[in-house]
């Protein structure tokens, strides 16, 4: 029975999505081969190391040794596979739309090595513009015709809803699994692929216990276009929700309300819910900015104005500027001032600094002549690379960063920062302004410690 349940899976791309998917599918019993073109990453993976900082990934890598293999050669992974998952990047083009070049290239390479008479289910897991599954199908069909072979190929859109920092959790314990397919047979293959997750019959990894009372996730079947749209719409709504509370935060500051109290009260309405109502520096990362830009671009392609999504982006990016203006006001100008930034990753739990609000604030402060110091528990090296060319000093100790500084900005709410000794920080600073960009601290405690405390929306 076990053998029947196990599928041969090829995964193209070992990034946040591809690697998480490869290891989790191997863990629940499938035989996985992961194709990674980047030689450096491949070397790390072959030596049991994860090229990305994602909690639990390295532990899982060790647990599934022997059931997942890594290669740079698609020829080794695809011909015998039953399921082929495309999880390569879809970076933004200058017009904002997602560039599906890597996806189409992967599809082309995959179709070059498919075997006559085999049945393949090609799964697009990358976040792709609406209609990409159709394009991929055309690319593959054309190559197969040129080669004169005719394997049976099904196409499925299976968007991922993984959050960075909680990717494994979201894979093993999803809210839903979405399958966009035109053939019922393809749906059945995906049902087999995810069965242990749909039925929650797998033994949880000891570092990732099953939440008590976790409800069995539904498998939603729909057409590929709706599946692709579902992903964009979900991310755009999350972005919108955050921008909404940030807009309310701005008004709270004017009228003296406390946005954290407002959010608490709002969130008790089950139609609103408490999550993603945390006012702060706004959203960053490799998804929300990219997906909202892609939605706008898709709208433009169809002469359709996505005004709410546009507004969510504008409010989001204005948060960065408002943080600088607050520092400007508190310090009577930032030129020549020593300002320490605590937190560089776009959110806690990851080393990813893509579109990080902290980095945008640092760029503006540097432009305005501030002396910027920066700290992050794990993203320091990525930030150093992303900020190359700017006069930023990097510190591995927040207390050293604070010595002689005139203001601190808490930009990423890492738990480590909650444990900082605020009195000690304030005592070594030249002037002790604290802009709490994520409302992490208790204003009263910060003031008692000697800070001029500034929050967001309170």
Among 20, 97, 111, 235, binds ligand UDX (CB under 6 A): 235
Q: How many residues make contact with ligand UDX (CB under 6 A)?
A: 20
Binding span for ligand UDX by CB under 6 A among 61-69, 139-147, 248-256, 278-286: 278-286
Judged by CB, which is closer to ligand UDX: 287, or 440? 287
Judged by CB, which is closer to ligand UDX: 42, or 361? 361
Judged by CB, which is closer to ligand UDX: 104, or 291? 291
Assess 162 for contact with ligand UDX (CB under 6 A): yes
To ligand UDX, the closest distance from the beta carbon of 117 in angstroms equals: 37
Among 22, 24, 242, 387, binds ligand UDX (CB under 6 A): 242
Binding span for ligand UDX by CB under 6 A among 24-32, 94-102, 161-169, 183-191: 161-169
Among 53, 161, 202, 394, binds ligand UDX (CB under 6 A): 161
Among 180, 224, 285, 398, binds ligand UDX (CB under 6 A): 285
Assess 238 for contact with ligand UDX (CB under 6 A): yes
Instruction: Return d(Cα 40, Cα 436) in angstroms, integer.
Output: 38
Among 283, 414, 451, 453, binds ligand UDX (CB under 6 A): 283
Give the number of residues written for the chain: 458
To ligand UDX, the closest distance from the beta carbon of 247 in angstroms equals: 13
Judged by CB, which is closer to ligand UDX: 350, or 432? 350
Among 111, 278, 292, 439, binds ligand UDX (CB under 6 A): 278
For the sheet containing 177-181, what is the strand order?
A: 68-71, 31-35, 8-12, 83-86, 119-124, 152-157, 177-181, 219-222
Crossing angle of helices 307-331/357-367, nearest 10°? 50
Judged by CB, which is closer to ligand UDX: 78, or 287? 287
Site for ligand UDX in 331-370 (CB under 6 A): 346-347
Judged by CB, which is closer to ligand UDX: 242, or 359? 242
Instruction: Return d(Cα 43, Cα 58) in angstroms, integer.
Output: 14
Binding span for ligand UDX by CB under 6 A among 115-123, 277-285, 294-302, 378-386: 277-285
Among 174, 280, 437, 457, binds ligand UDX (CB under 6 A): 280
Task: Select which of 34, 252, 287, 366 is catalytic.
Answer: 287
Classify 299 in phi/psi space as left (phi over 0), alpha (psi -120 to 50) or beta.
alpha
Q: Is 34 a catalytic residue?
A: no
Judged by CB, which is closer to ligand UDX: 133, or 235? 235
Binding span for ligand UDX by CB under 6 A among 57-65, 74-82, 159-167, 266-274: 159-167
Judged by CB, which is closer to ligand UDX: 202, or 276? 276
Instruction: Return d(Cα 88, Cα 287) in angstroms, integer.
Output: 14
To ligand UDX, the closest distance from the beta carbon of 234 in angstroms equals: 7
Assess 249 for contact with ligand UDX (CB under 6 A): no
Kindly give, in sequence order, each residue whose CB lies less than 8 Å from that of residue 194, ignoring residues fewer than 6 positions away: 177, 219
Binding span for ligand UDX by CB under 6 A among 116-124, 156-164, 368-376, 383-391: 156-164
Assess 288 for contact with ligand UDX (CB under 6 A): yes
Assess 15 for contact with ligand UDX (CB under 6 A): no
Residue among 322, 234, 239 nearest 284 (CA): 239
Binding span for ligand UDX by CB under 6 A among 40-48, 54-62, 196-204, 285-293: 285-293
Instruction: Return d(Cα 20, Cα 24) in angstroms, integer.
Output: 6
Among 287, 323, 339, 409, binds ligand UDX (CB under 6 A): 287
Assess 262 for contact with ligand UDX (CB under 6 A): no
Judged by CB, which is closer to ligand UDX: 54, or 406? 54
- Note the residues at the interface with ligand UDX (CB under 6 A): 160-164, 235, 238, 242, 276-278, 280, 282-285, 287-288, 346-347
Which positions are catalytic?
Answer: 287
């Amino acid at each position: 029975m076990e053998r029947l349940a196990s599928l041969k899976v090829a995964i193209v791309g070992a990034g946040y999505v591809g690697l998480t998917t490869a290891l989790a599918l191997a863990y629940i019993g499938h035989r996985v081969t992961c194709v990674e073109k980047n030689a450096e990453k491949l070397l790390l993976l072959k030596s049991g190391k994860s090229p990305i900082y994602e909690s639990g990934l390295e532990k899982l890598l060790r647990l599934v040794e022997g059931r997942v293999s890594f290669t740079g050669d698609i020829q080794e992974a695809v011909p015998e596979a039953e399921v082929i998952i495309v999880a390569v990047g879809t970076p933004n083009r200058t017009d904002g739309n997602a560039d599906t070049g890597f996806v189409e290239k992967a599809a082309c390479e995959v179709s070059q090595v498919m075997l006559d008479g085999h049945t393949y289910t090609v799964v697009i897991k990358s976040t792709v513009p609406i209609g990409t599954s159709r394009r991929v199908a055309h690319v593959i069909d054309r190559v197969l015709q040129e080669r004169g072979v005719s394997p049976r190929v099904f196409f499925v859109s299976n968007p991922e809803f993984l959050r960075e920092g909680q990717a494994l959790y979201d894979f093993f314990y999803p809210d839903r699994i979405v399958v966009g397919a035109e053939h019922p047979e393809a749906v059945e293959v995906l049902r087999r692929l995810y069965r242990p997750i749909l039925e929650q019959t797998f033994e949880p990894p000891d570092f990732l216990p099953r939440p008590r009372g976790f409800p069995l996730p539904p498998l939603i079947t729909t057409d590929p276009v709706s599946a692709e749209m579902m992903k964009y719409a979900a991310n755009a709504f999350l972005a919108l929700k955050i921008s909404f509370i940030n807009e309310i935060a701005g008004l709270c500051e004017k009228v003296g309300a406390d946005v954290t109290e407002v959010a608490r009260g709002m969130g008790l309405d089950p139609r609103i819910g408490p999550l993603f109502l945390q006012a702060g520096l706004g959203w960053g990362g490799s998804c929300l900015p990219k997906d909202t830009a892609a939605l706008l671009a898709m709208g433009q392609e169809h002469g359709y104005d996505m005004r709410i999504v546009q507004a969510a982006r504008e409010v989001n990016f204005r948060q960065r500027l408002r943080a600088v203006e607050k520092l400007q006001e508190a310090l009577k100008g930032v030129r020549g001032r020593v300002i320490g930034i605590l937190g560089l990753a776009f959110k806690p739990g990851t080393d990813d600094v893509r579109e990080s609000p902290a980095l945008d604030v640092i760029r503006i402060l540097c432009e305005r002549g501030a002396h910027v110091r920066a700290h992050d528990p794990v993203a320091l090296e990525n930030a150093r690379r992303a900020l190359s060319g700017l006069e930023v000093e990097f510190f591995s100790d927040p207390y050293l960063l604070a010595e002689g500084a005139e203001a601190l900005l808490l930009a990423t709410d890492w738990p480590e920062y909650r444990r900082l000794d605020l009195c000690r920080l304030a005592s070594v600073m030249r002037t002790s302004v604290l802009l709490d960009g994520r409302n992490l601290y208790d204003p009263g405690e910060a003031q008692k410690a000697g800070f001029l405390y500034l929050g967001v929306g309170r």
